[in-house]
Structure 1
Amino acid sequence: MTTNDPAARAAPPHDPAAYSDLSGLTPRRGYLLAFIVFIVALVLVLTAWRIARDREQRSAQAEFVAQTVQVTELIQQRLVNYELVARGGVSLFASVQRPTAAQWKAYVEGMNLQRRFPATLGLGFTGYVPQRLLVQLQNEWRDAGYGLLTVRPFGQREIYGPVLYLEPKTPANVETIGYDMFSEATRHAAMEAALESGQARLSGKIQLLQDQREGVTGTGMILVLPVYLGGGRPLNPSLRRAEMQGWVYVPFRMEKFVETSLGKSHREMRFRIYDDSAGGDTLLFRTAGPAPTQPAAFVHKATFDVYGRTWRIEYESPPIEEAAPRMQGLRNLFALGIFTSLLLYGIALVLAHTESRARQIASRMTEDFRRSETRFRSAMQYSAIGKALLDSEGRIVDANPALAAIVGMELPRLLDQRFDTLLEDEDGESPAHGRGSSDEDGVLRATRRLRRQHGVARQVQLTYSPVPGKVGQDITGLVQVEDVTERLRAEARVHALNRTLEARVALRTRELSQANQELEAFAYSVSHDLRAPLRAIDGFSRILGEKYADRLDESGSGYLARVRKAAARMGDLIDALLKMSRVTRSELKHESVDLSRVANELIEELRMGDAQREVEARIEPGLEVVGDASLLRNLLGNLLGNAWKFTRDRSPGLIEFGTADAPGGGREFFVRDNGTGFPQAYVDKLFRPFQRLHSVEDYAGHGIGLASVKRIVERHGGTIRAEGREGEGATFYFTLPREGGHA
């Protein structure tokens, strides 16, 4: 692929000196014009940025003031809601001259204050009690069944304002009953103002009694509303004190009040609330969080009257970057304008160097092309895989020595031949259009037979990939030829060996199946052949005992009883042996099994069979596995039955079934009891057939149960182990496939 272009050979080498005076070709006025454009653009951008910045600041300030108005209105509206709640309590006094504690509780529960107004601590009523009527009120309170009314703080006062009702009855609210709010200056001022005006009044900053009890520091306030006889407000101010019954009041925490008033929509606002009543400047609330590191962009104050108090709210906006986020965009636009001016200024300089750079790039591309040609030639020449370049008609334009060695021809004879004439396929198709697998890039792969000169045909792996040639050169593709004859022969030998192994496995499987059938026949024959002599022994022993009982002494009768008992035990052992063999041979039916439900059913069956036993069963709920339902019931039946049997000397007995962490990770099931237990040194004997750690006289059984359990667990792909101490109980751990197939 070396170039033969005369024009390319005639091109002179790159000479940097030939382009050293390129800058002199650029008129000097171009630099001056670029500088003037830069200055004009910079002035225009700066003017536009200042106008846009001022407009954006005014817009952000107007938006901030609108948000402050919304926050102020929300706080005022929430206080109006508190007034409406208090007026509902006043209305209750209008319908009933003095409602009972039960009626007051029913009204407050109907209002659902804790959900609707989380900042409030309840709704209460404070009586207006002159000194001469205090004893009468305490007697009425006691006669109504409310207990002793103790007015705090103690002392002689002309008027008392004790808390009589406060719902809901939390421990803190209950301790508040009897407190004389009229004796405290801040509360007294609000209650007195409400009495004189007949309207709702708000107190100054106080610490709520509930917060004092719970040790909570914070700002508390109360909203009080006077209650007169008949529920209405006397038009004559002089009669209001005479007809005064008390005050309905709403205690609330200021921090929670502001939080619930704003909700989630204005939580990012920063502000402080001051009480300016009577010339004071008391801080009631300030937003939480660290102080901003930068000054606020805008500040706004709002002053308003609220139930006899004057509140001032001072709002602070975030720094200018947050208050007017689009300012950053304006800065970016300003920077973009400066950059554009610089770009225009630099275009003239770039144009002056364009030709020089073009010559440098052309020289570098020529060198890259030459090196690429050299690399391709080296890859063709020294590759162990045969390669050939084909034209549009499938003729060989160029080939490497490896292809000549595979075909068995000299390299010059290969050139200009059709590549498909080297193949023995009957269809004679070109590798570019023949059978095979191709990918998205047009690369075709196929295995074909290659005709060798004076030799045996070879199997080759062909890979055709389209490649472009130079301009005016008819090259369309590259074919790579790899001799895979030996590899295919090796694969054929492997396949033949696999077929031989499969035949041997089938033979061994058939022999194993025949052995299993013979074992089943042997077990069936043994069970039937052994039962006949056992029945004869038992029958003749019973007849001998019945007919010749008078001739046998006590020892002889005992021997006959032992013979019959041994025959019966032999029959039971045969049944247990057959049962264990069926556990091994039966086909598994996989389904979802609720082990918790099965365990509960088995415990109930054990209780019904031995109702006098006192056994506590702890079964973990929701234990589900996948397996054979009948075999898993057999498994739990043996484990729980053993636990029931070996806890007979415990009062009460304890049986547990649940899951625990396995030593190697994961979870495993366990059955635990506090029964007789066993020595850990003999744990290997537990799961062997007919192996027992306790005598038959102490605990009945055949020694088959735990062996069956082990086979059931292993058939399900699990494991089982046991831990125990003599006299301290035993625990059996096992694993089974969980729901979804995980062990």
Structure 2
Amino acid sequence: MAANPPHSTSPPSPVQSAWRLRRSHVLAGLVLLGSLLMVTLYARGAGERERRLAEASFVADADQLAEAVRQRLLQYELSLRGGVALHSAAVETPTARQWRGYVEGLDIRRQLPGMMGIGYVAYLDPQSLAELQLRQRAAGEGLFTLTPRGVRPHYGAILYFEPEIDSSRLAIGYDQYSDPTRRAAMDAARDSGEVRLSAPVRLRQFGREGQAGVLLFSAVYRTARLPMSRAGRETALVGWVYAPFRTAEFIDRSMIPVDHALAFRIVDVSDGVEAPLLASDGWTEGDGPGSEVLHTVTQQLYGRSWRYDFQHVGPLASAGMRELQATLITGVVASLLLFAVVMTLAQTQSRAETLAHRLSDSYRRSEQRFRNAMQYSAIGMVLLDRNGTILESNPAMADIAGVSGTALTGTLFNGYFVDGNDDVSRSREMEALREGVHRSTRRLRRDDGDIREVHLASTLMPGDGGSDVARLVQVDDVTERLRAEAQVHALNRTLESRVEQRTRELTQANQELESFAYIVSHDLRAPLRSIDGFGRILAERYGAVIDAQGQDYLARVRNAAARMDQLIDALLKMSRISRGEFKRVPLDLSRMASEVLSELRQTDAGREVAVRVAPDLQADGDPALVRNLLENLLGNAWKFTANTARATIEFGAEPGGVFYVADNGAGFNAEYAGKLFRPFQRLHRDDEFKGHGVGLASVRRIVERHGGTIDAVGRPDGGATFRFSLAPSAQRR
């Protein structure tokens, strides 16, 4: 642009090149420091990640150990259930030889390491204990001695225990039921029918209390099938199969692999009381170094809660720390290489200066494209300085103003507008420009005196402080478009006036029509009353002299007068529907329909009709009109199912605010569905179904007054369904 020409560039001097090179050295040093800092941060983050990995590996090993204990106890459970099955399969209690054969078949030492053995405990009362002692004496096995001695309601005496060693032989006859801890586990196994674990106890060794341990119990019943009730299980109980194991030797003897860096202890925490079971060799008590519990696992095992506490022996580290050190060294080497790369980039400074010259050429080409856009634009465009003086314009702007382009240059832009001296509008425009594009419509006075309506779009021009151009304004002549819009608005106003006039005329015609129907209905009643009255007098006074045919003619006259009177009543009701006050309120259609059907049942108590009314059907409408609607639709359904066996009537709703009344009655021919809602139109003979032909016409008027729609579908002897809405479709959506 002439007002803001691009500045020419010159090659950089040697001093400038040296300064840029030193600046590049400083940048390379900063890059080196930054990269080393990033390596340090990465090392810290990676170290923390490796620590978390080590913790995760430690937790996995701990969970695996706890699961191994659970699996070992599961093997013990299976061996106990095998002993229970042996007792259940035998007619009588298995002998000591049979029990020894079963236990030897289990090969406890190899297959069930950690278990001391498997025994059988008999559930006895004093009488059964005496019988047991007599049986054993008769079998030559000597006197069966129970310890501790004493009379108790029930005993849990050990009869067998295999493999048989000195310590287990001395435990025969021990009453486990006398110990509260053992009895609690035995009762739990009896009541649940499942294997149960005891709290920590002192195991019997050489006939006395010995090392700490726990016992597994599984109840044995007289029947192979588990009794259903608790009382039934207590009655059917004959004993328990049990297995003891020493807690201090459990891990070592059960051959569960334990990592050398993993220290742990197992604590029984059932019933809120902590009872230590065992601790590994590396476990550290107290608050000293290495005593921190890093992980805890709680298991529910056979009615008991065991908590596993785990410690790590030695520093917690992972195998990836060596790789981290190698990565750190690699990062330092990469930082040095990056420093060398940045130093090398300093030598490309001259290439950057060449690129700057190319960018200057691109700027000049961009300026030329802008000038071409102004020159050939169909919309007027002007460039203004800060005072609003026109610096440059395009041919389209000269055509709009009616002057030449040279005549526009140097003149005030606002001087071409009718309101050009309005300081208030000018200040508002400047305030809007600071926020973005300002758009307005103003009146421009051409050089020949013609006034044109133009649309202005003003925007501030970005640039440095030395540029003369401050604003770009686009001017679009919209005079013809505004004139066309004014003509359209005038036509719309004329059309609205005509519509309003036609509405008034239609309203007046409806009022006159309703008044006419009301007056005619009342005027027709007088001659009808005369016809009926004289017919009644004629029948009463002269009935004896009138033959049978005359009596029939007279009856027809009176019936026709009565029917005419009923039609007049229906006509009056229809006129009231259109003339009455309309008030829309929330309605419970389910309750209203139930009341209508109840009234129909009272008037025709002998009929059996299956009625289904959907619950919670809600709508907005006039209460009196909607009740009239339901009375007509449900009354028609009741009437037209009179000759139907197993008649059914249903009132429900469909999606979109559409309600329906359906029946399985006489139905109608779908070809004549258009006549249903016309006044005095009927599709059935009067001798088949009584009616006047105005009920559905009234229904249609009620629905239309609510702004809804109604339609009907049916087939002869196949029932009919009437669907209606009480609101326009837009409101229902």
Please give the alpha-carbon distance, in whole angstroms, between the structure 2 residues aligned to 1:682 and 1:735.
22
Q: Which residue of 2 aligns with 1:199?
A: 181
What secondary structure, in the 3-state scheme, does the structure 1 residue paired with 2:454 have?
A: strand
- Give, in angstroms, the shift of residue 618 of structure 1: 0.9
Please give the alpha-carbon distance, in whole angstroms, between the structure 2 residues aligned to 1:325 and 1:738.
73
Q: Which residue of 2 aligns with 1:563?
A: 557
Q: Which residue of 2 aligns with 1:414?
A: 408
- Give, in angstroms, the shift of residue 704 of structure 1: 1.1
Please give the alpha-carbon distance, in whole angstroms, between the structure 1 residues aligned to 2:627 and 2:688.
26
Please give the alpha-carbon distance, in whole angstroms, between the structure 1 residues aligned to 2:28 and 2:418.
78
2:718 matched to 1:718? no
What secondary structure, in the 3-state scheme, does the structure 1 residue paired with 2:679 have?
A: coil
Residue deviations 1:232-270 (CA, integer Å, cap 9, x gap):
xxxx99xxxxxxxx9899x99xxxxxxxxxxxxxxxxxx
Contact 1:202–1:309 (8 Å) recurs in 2: no
Please give the alpha-carbon distance, in whole angstroms, between the structure 2 residues aligned to 1:738 and 1:315.
73
Alignment of 1:94-493 (within 5 A): 128=123, 194-195=176-177, 197-200=179-182, 221-223=194-196, 304=277, 340=335, 342-357=337-352, 359-425=353-419, 427-429=421-423, 432-433=426-427, 438=432, 441-469=435-463, 471-493=465-487
Contact 1:722–1:732 (8 Å) recurs in 2: yes
Please give the alpha-carbon distance, in whole angstroms, between the structure 2 residues aligned to 1:334 and 1:533.
122
2:684 matched to 1:694? yes
What secondary structure, in the 3-state scheme, does the structure 1 residue paired with 2:731 have?
A: coil
What secondary structure, in the 3-state scheme, does the structure 2 residue paired with 1:649 have?
A: coil
Q: Which residue of 2 aligns with 1:707?
A: 697
Amino acid at match of 1:11: S
Please give the alpha-carbon distance, in whole angstroms, between the structure 1 residues aligned to 2:680 and 2:726.
25
What secondary structure, in the 3-state scheme, does the structure 1 residue paired with 2:691 have?
A: coil
Q: Which residue of 1 aligns with 2:93?
A: none
Distance 1:546 1:330, change over 3 A: farther
Distance 1:711 1:129, change over 3 A: farther
- Give, in angstroms, the shift of residue 530 of structure 1: 1.0
Amino acid at match of 1:513: T
What secondary structure, in the 3-state scheme, does the structure 2 residue paired with 1:575 have?
A: helix
Distance 1:704 1:299, change over 3 A: farther
What secondary structure, in the 3-state scheme, does the structure 2 residue paired with 1:433 have?
A: helix
Amino acid at match of 1:700: K
Q: Which residue of 1 aligns with 2:609?
A: 615
Q: Which residue of 2 aligns with 1:271?
A: none
- Give, in angstroms, the shift of residue 30 of structure 1: 11
Q: Which residue of 2 aligns with 1:640?
A: 634
Contact 1:644–1:655 (8 Å) recurs in 2: yes
What secondary structure, in the 3-state scheme, does the structure 1 residue paired with 2:720 have?
A: strand
Please give the alpha-carbon distance, in whole angstroms, between the structure 1 residues aligned to 2:303 and 2:515.
105
Give the structure with higher Rg (CA).
Answer: 2
Please give the alpha-carbon distance, in whole angstroms, between the structure 2 residues aligned to 1:25 and 1:440.
42
Q: Which residue of 1 aligns with 2:618?
A: 624
Q: Which residue of 2 aligns with 1:741?
A: 731
What secondary structure, in the 3-state scheme, does the structure 2 residue paired with 1:550 have?
A: helix
What secondary structure, in the 3-state scheme, does the structure 2 residue paired with 1:637 have?
A: helix
Distance 1:332 1:586, change over 3 A: farther
- Give, in angstroms, the shift of residue 520 of structure 1: 1.6
Please give the alpha-carbon distance, in whole angstroms, between the structure 1 residues aligned to 2:620 and 2:421.
57
- Give, in angstroms, the shift of residue 620 of structure 1: 0.8
Residue deviations 1:695-736 (CA, integer Å, cap 9, x gap):
222322111112222332333343333333433432223334
- Give, in angstroms, the shift of residue 449 of structure 1: 2.1
Distance 1:710 1:300, change over 3 A: farther
- Give, in angstroms, the shift of residue 572 of structure 1: 1.0
- Give, in angstroms, the shift of residue 308 of structure 1: 12
Contact 1:224–1:248 (8 Å) recurs in 2: no
Please give the alpha-carbon distance, in whole angstroms, between the structure 2 residues aligned to 1:672 and 1:388.
75
Please give the alpha-carbon distance, in whole angstroms, between the structure 1 residues aligned to 2:260 and 2:418.
88
Please give the alpha-carbon distance, in whole angstroms, between the structure 1 residues aligned to 2:324 and 2:587.
65
Gaps of 5+ in 1: 76-125, 135-158, 160-181, 211-219, 227-235, 238-245, 253-274, 284-295, 318-322
Please give the alpha-carbon distance, in whole angstroms, between the structure 1 residues aligned to 2:730 and 2:320.
53
Please give the alpha-carbon distance, in whole angstroms, between the structure 2 residues aligned to 1:451 and 1:327.
87
Please give the alpha-carbon distance, in whole angstroms, between the structure 1 residues aligned to 2:559 and 2:22.
126
Please give the alpha-carbon distance, in whole angstroms, between the structure 1 residues aligned to 2:48 and 2:252.
45
Contact 2:415–2:421 (8 Å) recurs in 1: no
Kindly tell me the number of residue pairs found equivalent between the two proteins: 571
Residue deviations 1:549-585 (CA, integer Å, cap 9, x gap):
3322333233222212211111111121222233344
Amino acid at match of 1:222: V
Contact 1:451–1:457 (8 Å) recurs in 2: yes
Residue deviations 1:655-686 (CA, integer Å, cap 9, x gap):
1111346xxxx563221223233344433332
Alignment of 1:680-691 (within 5 A): 680-691=670-681
TM-score, with length taken from structure 1: 0.62
Q: Which residue of 2 aligns with 1:653?
A: 647
- Give, in angstroms, the shift of residue 397 of structure 1: 1.0
Q: Which residue of 1 aligns with 2:10?
A: 11
Q: Which residue of 2 aligns with 1:669?
A: 659
Amino acid at match of 2:692: H
What secondary structure, in the 3-state scheme, does the structure 1 residue paired with 2:387 have?
A: coil
Q: Which residue of 2 aligns with 1:106?
A: none
Distance 1:462 1:69, change over 3 A: same
Residue deviations 1:42-94 (CA, integer Å, cap 9, x gap):
9978986886567556666777799999999999xxxxxxxxxxxxxxxxxxx
Please give the alpha-carbon distance, in whole angstroms, between the structure 2 residues aligned to 1:435 and 1:308.
85
Contact 2:25–2:343 (8 Å) recurs in 1: no
What secondary structure, in the 3-state scheme, does the structure 1 residue paired with 2:712 have?
A: strand
Gaps of 5+ in 2: 72-120, 130-143, 145-158, 163-170, 200-206, 209-217, 227-248, 267-276, 279-300, 313-317
Q: Which residue of 1 aligns with 2:511?
A: 517
TM-score, with length taken from structure 2: 0.63
What secondary structure, in the 3-state scheme, does the structure 2 residue paired with 1:389 have?
A: strand
What secondary structure, in the 3-state scheme, does the structure 2 residue paired with 1:424 have?
A: coil
Contact 1:400–1:411 (8 Å) recurs in 2: yes
- Give, in angstroms, the shift of residue 533 of structure 1: 1.0
- Give, in angstroms, the shift of residue 408 of structure 1: 1.4
Amino acid at match of 1:389: L
Contact 2:590–2:616 (8 Å) recurs in 1: yes
- Give, in angstroms, the shift of residue 199 of structure 1: 2.3
Distance 1:684 1:28, change over 3 A: closer
Distance 1:683 1:504, change over 3 A: closer
Of the structure 1 ranges 337-346 and 461-470, higher mean CA displacement relative to structure 2 is found in 337-346
Of the structure 1 ranges 593-602 and 454-463, higher mean CA displacement relative to structure 2 is found in 454-463
- Give, in angstroms, the shift of residue 466 of structure 1: 1.5
Of the structure 1 ranges 566-575 and 24-33, higher mean CA displacement relative to structure 2 is found in 24-33
Distance 1:521 1:381, change over 3 A: same
Contact 1:643–1:655 (8 Å) recurs in 2: yes
What secondary structure, in the 3-state scheme, does the structure 2 residue paired with 1:741 have?
A: helix
Contact 2:65–2:256 (8 Å) recurs in 1: no
Contact 2:195–2:302 (8 Å) recurs in 1: no
Please give the alpha-carbon distance, in whole angstroms, between the structure 2 residues aligned to 1:222 and 1:133.
25
Distance 1:617 1:39, change over 3 A: closer
Distance 1:334 1:657, change over 3 A: farther
What secondary structure, in the 3-state scheme, does the structure 2 residue paired with 1:605 have?
A: helix
